[in-house]
Amino acid sequence: MNKISSIIIIPVLLFSACMDVGEKVYDKYSASEFYATPEGTASALAGVYAQIPGNWGGVGYAGADNGWYDLNCMTTDEQVIPHRNTGDWQLDFARLHQRQWLPADGINANAWNWLYRSVFLANLAVEQLENAGAEPTSIAEARVLRAFFYYLLMDAYGNVPLYDSNDIPVNEIQQANRSDVFDFVSSELENYIEDLSTSKGGQYYGRFTRWAGHALLAKVYLNAEVYTGTAMWEKCLEQIEKLESGGFSLHPASNDPSHPLGNTYYNLFGDRCPDDETILAIYTQLDVVGRNILTVRSLRGADGNLLIGASAWNGSVVPQGYVEKFSDNDIRKRQFRFGNTPYGPRPAGFMVYELEISNLDNPGADPLAGARNIKFWPAAPVNSGGASNDFPIFRYADILLMKAECLIRTGNPQQAKTYVDQIRERAGLDALTENPTLEDVYEERGFELSWEGHRRQDMIRFGTFTQANGFIPAVDDTYLLFPIPTHALNTNPNLNQNPGW
């Protein structure tokens, strides 16, 4: 709890930067009085938002290691941390990539623990705010946050414990069917999105606005067939149309000599995610609010010192087949660093990373094997513990590709073409010569959203997750869900393990 308390302090200040904590003595207030004040509302919500930035111990949506991000990303074709033949790195990440995970694995347990800790805090915030008669906007924000965490739970684990009050003992909480969790999530969002703020940026940067709520519900409906067996493409399109009234657009991509990767496109992944395209982001300031380890973890130690001024970890790499799908004139290929003439800076003595990876686990990969990802070129402050890049959870490019997918699935590929072409042309590619297919959209999502936490969900929805791919073996449908962690089963006798585990 001390760790949780320490992270809550900063988001409170972000919510209410002008608050003078010396003006009032809040321990003289009743709870109902305090949580009705702006300061009390900020405190209740900050406790929940503090769970989203990535930090040590598997905490957070993205930015740190051994948690939800790794569980979802290392199981896809877009990244892996191989064990090195020098003895570096545990086998956990290679095992995720090779479909060898188990119910007792630590990364799996970390993701589950983080999500249910977040649900607990969201329940608490809803109760505090409702009992205090707080503003409807604040109550809606707490409820939508809770729906967000349940969305991630049903996506990863299927049938999960569902509770909206913290009064129920853990061993009495019932396991709900995935479809029932879907109904809860979609109902909460449908009922409360319209109460959210329509503001963009400013004090609402990094928070659920109405536009972020529509993006979340669109994601829920996009994957409805996976969750419930019933496709809901039209409902997804309805949410996207509502989101579009928020006035989002693609961030410009033009030559930028001041950026290490030479293009303004990469501003999307820097110190602050631009408001034109970003719908919801994680605010990060290293060693204060979360961290972003993605580039620091990818580069090799001394190369990190040379390129970014901090020792790096020699961890995450991009499988060769994934890199080779990108056209050379695609500006998004600049995120991959490999070969004698790599993208990004080339100071004297830079390391030459080899695209080919010959082994993941026994004896492991050579130290320089594997392309490195520098999409999140480290933003200051940066040290060997990470950087301060913010992380986009939802952005408009994703929404356009979701819209294209739904249009194709509902028999309108001609209309879908304009949205796919917008993404391609920003990346420096030609428009498609024909109407897009589902395969075109799937590949474009891989190009555009690499390392942003969407790939596993996409692979499942498009039917590729269980297929063989590089070091990934073909598996059965057991692997479409992660197993419920062993410790959760031991704690609550009402839980049944997912089939096959």
Distance CA 464, CA 162 (A): 29
User: Does residue 137 sit in the same domain as residue 2?
Assistant: yes
Write out pLDDT tens, residues 367-414. Answer: 999 999 999 999 999 999 999 999 999 999 999 999 999 999 999 999
Distance in angstroms (rounded) separating the CA atoms of residues 437 and 444 = 11
Task: Break the chain down into helix, strand, coil percent, rounded to 5.
Answer: 45, 10, 45
Is residue 160 within a helix (H) or strand (E), and if so which, with residue range? strand 160-161
Residue ending a domain, choose from 148, 177, 206? 177
Quick check: 461 pLDDT over 80? yes
Q: What CATH number is given to the structural domain containing 62?
A: 1.25.40.390
The verdict on residue 242 lying in a domain is no
Q: Which pLDDT score, from 0 to 100, does residue 29 have?
A: 60
Which of 8-12, 27-31, 158-162, 256-260 has the least mean pLDDT? 8-12
Residue 12 has pLDDT above 70, yes or no: no
pLDDT-derived band of residue 183, with 50, 70 and 90 as boundaries? very high
DSSP 334-389: GGEE-SSS-SS---TT----BS----SSSS-B-TTBSBEE-SSPPPSS-BTTBB--
* 160, 177, 194 - which closes a domain: 177
Domain-located, residue 93: yes
Alpha-carbon span 14 to 289, nearest angstrom: 10
Residue with tokens 């004040």: 37
On whether both 3 and 126 belong to a single domain, the answer is yes
Q: What is the pLDDT of residue 192?
A: 98
pTM: 0.94
What is the reported pLDDT for 38? 87
The verdict on residue 249 lying in a domain is: no
Over residues 343-348, mean pLDDT: 98
DSSP for 406-457, written as a single string: HHHHTT-HHHHHHHHHHHHHHTTPPPPSSPPPHHHHHHHHHHHSTTTT-HHH
Q: Give domain status of residue 241, yes or no.
A: no
Q: How far apart are CA 465 and CA 470, in angstroms?
A: 12
- Domain span at 318: 284-389
Total structural domains within the chain: 2
The predicted-structure confidence for 251-269, as pLDDT tens digits, reads as follows: 999 999 999 999 999 999 9
pLDDT (0 to 100) of residue 36: 85
Three-state DSSP class for residue 467: coil
* Contact by Cβ (8 Å): 484, 497: yes
Taking the CA atoms of 317, 320, 325 and 331 in sequence, report the sign of the dihedral they define.
Answer: positive
| Coil/strand/helix, residue 212 | helix
Q: Residues 451, 79: contact at Cβ < 8 Å?
A: yes
DSSP states along 251-263? PP--B-TTSTTSB
| Last residue of one domain, picked from the residues 111, 143, 177 | 177
